[in-house]
Amino acid sequence: MHDPIEAATRRGFLAAGAAAAVASQATAPKIDEPPKAVEVPGMKAKTEAQAGPPPAPAPPAKRLGFAVVGLGELALGEVLPAFGRCKYARPTALVSGDRAKAEKVADQYGIGPEHIYDYQNFDRIADDPTVDVVYIILPNSMHREFTVRAAKAGKHVLCEKPMANTSAECEAMIAACESARRLLMIAYRCQYEPHHREMIRLARSGELGPIRMIEASNGQNQGPADQWRHKKALAGGGSLPDVGIYCLNAARYITGEEPVQVTAQIAVDPSDPRFREVEDRISFQLRFPSGVLAVCQSFYSAHESRRCRVLAEKGWIDMDPAFAYHGLRMKTSRARDEAELTTAIALPEHDQFALEMDHMARRVAAGERPHTPGEEGLQDIRIIEAIYRAAREGKPVDLAAVEARDATRGPAPG
């Protein structure tokens, strides 16, 4: 069977012995760093925010190859364009049920027609030496099948959120990648994004005192009723697994804790054809072991809004928008004597999908656990199952306590 790590080694991207390193981090090879950034003289005075060095991408032949599975809105609108901003990843294959569309897209991105697959002949990707990682961007109910098939084909897997429709499916995905000795990462783009990394750092630093509450809200007004997101068998649920998952995941990565209790309420207009099978509005509350309460909501029938606020004893951190692809805005506030000091923190914008794909490429190269591995996706789905139960039964649902912090995450991105 073709081994992608050996293929990458042949292309000079990895040091020798990388295949063993996936199983054993102790023997992980060093990654060949790309050339240092070209130096350009800055035009701005030291008083101004500096532009920083230009990107220093690895040459295309030394990057890891990604196969994009599913050519829908996210793949075409965000992921494929993001490869242009990657340093370590490049698109080398496409998987689609529509050959004509795939040929057009392959042409746009310089992918040869011999690297186009469909959902039936997908397993032939095992013999494609240009593919190291399979990026699954399909309806949620298809994530398990294509993760298992990709792992069997000897490929590492980057899978979109939500990881799957049930925790049993997530467990099967983790087991398949473990037994194939391939890495599995869930595409939680926000965990690689600088504003979110700064929010995590500041919230945990103690500078603002202990965290008391987290408020998070994410949603938009949905389009046609007949799309897969409104079909329970394909989507697993409504706004909760699609966009509410960002609020849940944020509450978990801000605190580093796992909730021990959830409560929830659902509201649906029964005459709206979009919500015959899945929920529209959901409000859910998480109680963390330290006493932090997270109050979260997601929706499919109100105008787009994507906010997150951390309330600490001596100040707050606010992001609005927090979960959008672009234009994230961050503010902090704290008191000094009689004044309330509110500061806007404007960090340079980075493509979240490029950051996430480069992270996957580097972790594959190093044989290291990704920051958001399968266990991170599984934990969200387990909590989502508890949230639905709490809403159904109209009472709190307790969850098993997890002692360790960041128990489901690999090392933080550098």
How far apart are CB 68 and ligand NAD at their closest, in Å? 10
Contacts of 273 (CB under 8 A, 6+ apart): 225
User: Which C-beta is closer to ligand NAD: that of 87 or that of 229?
Assistant: 229
- Give the DSSP per-residue string, 224-252: -TTSGGG-HHHHSSSHIIIIIHHHHHHHH
Sole residue written with tokens 């698109």: 91
How far apart are CB 262 and ligand NAD at their closest, in Å? 21
Catalytic residue from among 192, 246, 300, 388: 246
Q: Any catalytic annotation for residue 161?
A: yes
Q: What size, in residues, is the chain?
A: 414
How far apart are CB 112 and ligand NAD at their closest, in Å? 21
Query: Quick one: DSSP state of residue 49?
Result: P
User: Which C-beta is closer to ligand NAD: that of 196 or that of 334?
Assistant: 196
**CA dist 215 → 189, 256, 257, 386 (Å):** 20, 16, 16, 19
Name the residues that contact ligand NAD, by CB under 6 A.
Answer: 70-75, 97, 137-140, 160-161, 187, 189, 228, 234, 242
Q: Which residues pair with 41 in a beta bridge?
A: none
How far apart are CB 211 and ligand NAD at their closest, in Å? 25
User: Angle 143-152/167-179 helices, nearest 10 degrees?
Assistant: 10
**CA dist 390 → 90, 277, 376 (Å):** 43, 18, 21
Alpha helices in 225-373 (DSSP H): 232-235, 239, 245-255, 352-366
Tokens of residue 190, six digits: 């926000």
Residue 307, amino acid: R
Q: How far apart are CA 124 and CA 126, in angstroms?
A: 5
How far apart are CB 372 and ligand NAD at their closest, in Å? 11
How far apart are CB 143 and ligand NAD at their closest, in Å? 7
Q: What are φ and ψ of residue 282, in 5° steps? A: -140, 135
Residue 408, amino acid: T
Catalytic residue from among 88, 135, 155, 161: 161
Tokens of residue 331, six digits: 């503010």
User: Which C-beta is closer to ligand NAD: that of 367 or that of 374?
Assistant: 374
User: Which C-beta is closer to ligand NAD: that of 138 or that of 254?
Assistant: 138
Let me know: does 159 contact 373? Beta carbons within 8 Å.
no
User: Which C-beta is closer to ligand NAD: that of 187 or that of 296?
Assistant: 187
User: Which C-beta is closer to ligand NAD: that of 122 or that of 284?
Assistant: 122
Give the catalytic positions in this structure: 161, 246
